[in-house]
A and B are shown apart, each in its own frame.
Chain A
Amino acid sequence: MHVGRLLTREASVLERRELKLIRVVDVHKTYLLGEIELSVLKGISLQIARAELVALMGSSGSGKTTLMNILGCLDRPTSGQYWLDGEDVSRLSADQRAVIRNRKMGFVFQNFNLLPRTSALENVMMPLSYSHEHVSEREARRRATSMLERVGLGSRLDHEPSQLSGGQQQRVAIARALINNPSLLFADEPTGNLDSVTSREILSMFRQLNREQGLTIVLVTHDPEVARHAQRTIHISDGSIQDGLRPASAQPYLPGLKGPSEVCA
């Protein structure tokens, strides 16, 4: 009786295995500083599967931010291919990339980057105004409210960023990143401006999102402590990937970390 279901499951597993969410082949990025060519990425190839929590690690100047910009469709590679969800996005125009970012990606930044003097709710609603599906005002409000409730800020909808702590601001930023139901979340040093306790809360929230919703997360960091939370770490040094894959099993379970639900309560 479960044959059909088994088959579909197998098919989906197969498909997932075949079609990685991110596939990057030999990506170069070169900047022109006057006459001098500055090569920042020197032939990066990597794959990230769906529902993976990957850390992109490297010291400053290693090119990890440049790589994240390319992966996040904020920038285009000088050469090489980048398939996102089976679609070659390495040659898209700025407007097309904006649409991809809106539909498929969310960003969390080190300095939160919330709109100042704007309520948490409005901040979370903001991406919906650029969305292609037309979301009514009421629907947008409802979705933003439930998103803020999920990150544990249901009681602070009308607070402005200046009235929120760092951790709360970052949670607003996460809610904003998730409002369009992206399949991919980029976090650029998400804990860089937070104390260690809050950092752990935020990181465990990422883990929970990854585990419970199958959200693919790319954590960009220079901090090994942060990278430890990932299933896999990609080390970047001087524009190339240092070591290959680290088996998912090597990822140790971190006891003593509270889940976000407990934290937020």
Chain B
Amino acid sequence: MKSYRVLRTAFKAIRRNIMRSILTTLGIMIGISAVITMMEIGKGSSSAIQRTISSMGANTLMILPGTASSGGVTFGSGSVMTLTPQDAEAILKEPTVRAAAPVVRARTQVIYRDRNWVPMYIYGTTYDFLEVRDWTDLSDGVVFTEEDVRTGNTVCLVGQTLVRELFRGESPLGKTLRVNNVTFKVIGVLSKKGGNMMGMDQDDILVAPWTAIKFRVSRSTMGSINQSSSSAQDSDVSNGLYPGSRTSLYPVPAENQTTSRPNPVRFTNVDQILVSARSAENVSASISQITELLRQRHRIQAGEPDDFVIRDMTEMTNALTSTSRLMTNLLLGVALISLVVGGVGIMNIMLVSVTERTREIGVRMSVGARGRDILRQFLAEAVVLCLAGGAIGIMIGRGGSYLVRLLLNWPTEISIPAIIAAVVVSVGVGIVFGYYPAWKASRLDPIDALRYE
């Protein structure tokens, strides 16, 4: 019996009792549509969760200068100055990097009128800092521009804690405050972020162009505040930072230039570079790319240790992957249960169908159908039923997830593997649960089958 004949016969048998066929396949239909909807919602929420965790910094990399050592005494990480703003720019060109921001830190007093406060963080950086920290939505005002960074404008963004402590609720926009006796104009207010994982208040922050912090604020304070800066004073340009770079990095400016501009002619270092990978999966790729790049830029010979340290948020990344794995397994379990239920339904109805059509089986056998012909026919029927149910289920599932997105505003994402799995599973269910009834039908004795009432 040719396969197309088998299929045709199966289609005819299904059409002959269309109502029962629909009811039979309803289990599969519901199962598959539930699976598809769940998978799409699950995938949507999973990526939403991933985004949320990412915003907590899961794909953030922190690049710190390496350690300096002298006579067997190491000074700890950050004790040598090796990172430059140009490193940050170069890192930004790597394909797996979404944003890279150089950071210059300071710790000093901030004064507004008669109030003063020492913020936990005074960060000199670029706009990318807010990208990396997923902090771009300000609660008020605007972010400083590239131009501000280039010219070292004394503008700043303040965190909510500063607003509370210094401004006591009044709008800080346009106000000027003094940071280590340098006046800064507040042009934006950061949105509330609360404590970080270590319980540190992230809103206790002042963000300004790194040039302003570096060259205006830290100049006078870094000796006492910043270790890396203090070491910077020791190893000045004259020593040459990297082996082989004997010439000075910048052209020596004219006399009047030095007096009119605060930009000192010396090697500009930053305290750290914050990098955001494109996604949490990209973190390890980013690390190796950045390592490669920085070793090359810093002219580190093979075999020599890095002069920088890259830190990633392993803990968070682990939490992220375990969350998504849990989610997937949960959905898989639900899918499995609903499909088994659907399959049992198919088996049930197929068994009823075999009993009901015993006479038909007898007739087919009397005109020369062999056991395997009957087996194939019933199996084909079950598979066609399941496949049709699966196809309708996929459509219902897609529609369902669309409705969920439309009405409940839940994030959903189309899942191609789920659709492929649904097709494979519905055929599998058809074969597995259709086999027993089909086998039973094929084992019927034609005489008994013909006489069956």
On chain A, the residues within 8 Å of B369 by CB distance are: 98, 102, 130
A242 to chain B, nearest CB (A): 24
Whether A109 contacts B12 in the complex (CB less than 8 A), given A127-B368, A130-B368, comes out as: no
Whether the Cβ atoms of B370 and A95 lie closer than 8 Å is: yes
Interface hits, A123-160 → B, CB 8 Å: 126-127, 129-131, 134
Whether the Cβ atoms of A109 and B450 lie closer than 8 Å is: yes
A75 to B447 alpha-carbon distance, docked (Å): 8
Q: Does B306 contact A (CB under 8 A)?
A: no
Interface string of B366-407 (1 = CB under 8 A from A): 111111110000000000000000000000000000000000
Main secondary structure of the interface of B (DSSP, over half): helix
Whether A99 contacts B370 in the complex (CB less than 8 A), given A109-B450, A130-B1, comes out as: yes
Question: Could you say which of A19-27, A111-119, A221-229, A247-255 contacts chain B?
Answer: A111-119
A117 to B373 alpha-carbon distance, docked (Å): 21
On chain B, the residues within 8 Å of A72 by CB distance are: 366
On chain A, the residues within 8 Å of B368 by CB distance are: 98-99, 101-103, 127, 130-131, 180
Which one, B2, B16, B17, B366, contacts A107 given CB within 8 A? B366
Q: Does B446 contact A (CB under 8 A)?
A: yes
Q: Does B111 contact A (CB under 8 A)?
A: no
Whether the Cβ atoms of A113 and B359 lie closer than 8 Å is: yes
Interface hits, B161-205 → A, CB 8 Å: none
On chain B, the residues within 8 Å of A98 by CB distance are: 365, 368-371
Q: Does A207 contact B (CB under 8 A)?
A: no
A102 to B363 alpha-carbon distance, docked (Å): 11
Whether the Cβ atoms of A102 and B367 lie closer than 8 Å is: yes
Whether A113 contacts B1 in the complex (CB less than 8 A), given A74-B447, A118-B16, A130-B373, comes out as: no
B64 to chain A, nearest CB (A): 77
Interface hits, A54-79 → B, CB 8 Å: 69, 72, 74-75
A100 to chain B, nearest CB (A): 8
Query: Which B residue sits closest to A101, measured CB to CB?
Result: B368
On chain A, the residues within 8 Å of B373 by CB distance are: 130
A176 to B367 alpha-carbon distance, docked (Å): 9
Q: Does B51 contact A (CB under 8 A)?
A: no
Q: Does B131 contact A (CB under 8 A)?
A: no
A106 to B369 alpha-carbon distance, docked (Å): 13
Q: Does A122 contact B (CB under 8 A)?
A: yes
Whether A122 contacts B12 in the complex (CB less than 8 A), given A107-B366, A113-B359, A130-B1, comes out as: yes
A103 to B367 alpha-carbon distance, docked (Å): 9
On chain A, the residues within 8 Å of B9 by CB distance are: 129
Q: Does B360 contact A (CB under 8 A)?
A: yes
Whether A129 contacts B1 in the complex (CB less than 8 A), given A98-B365, A101-B368, A107-B367, comes out as: yes
On chain A, the residues within 8 Å of B1 by CB distance are: 129-130
A109 to B370 alpha-carbon distance, docked (Å): 20
A185 to B440 alpha-carbon distance, docked (Å): 29
A126 to B370 alpha-carbon distance, docked (Å): 14
Q: Does A257 contact B (CB under 8 A)?
A: no
A114 to B450 alpha-carbon distance, docked (Å): 11
A118 to chain B, nearest CB (A): 7
Interface string of B408-452 (1 = CB under 8 A from A): 000000000000000000000000000000000000001100100
Known: A74-B446, A122-B12, A176-B367. 13 other contacts (CB 8 A): A69-B447, A74-B365, A106-B367, A113-B450, A118-B16, A126-B363, A126-B364, A127-B368, A129-B9, A130-B1, A130-B373, A134-B2, A180-B367
Q: Nearest 10 CB-CB pairs, A to B?
A: A102-B368, A127-B367, A98-B370, A117-B16, A130-B368, A95-B370, A113-B363, A130-B369, A101-B368, A107-B366
Binding site for A on B (CB under 8 A): 1-2, 5, 9, 12, 16-17, 359-360, 362-373, 446-447, 450
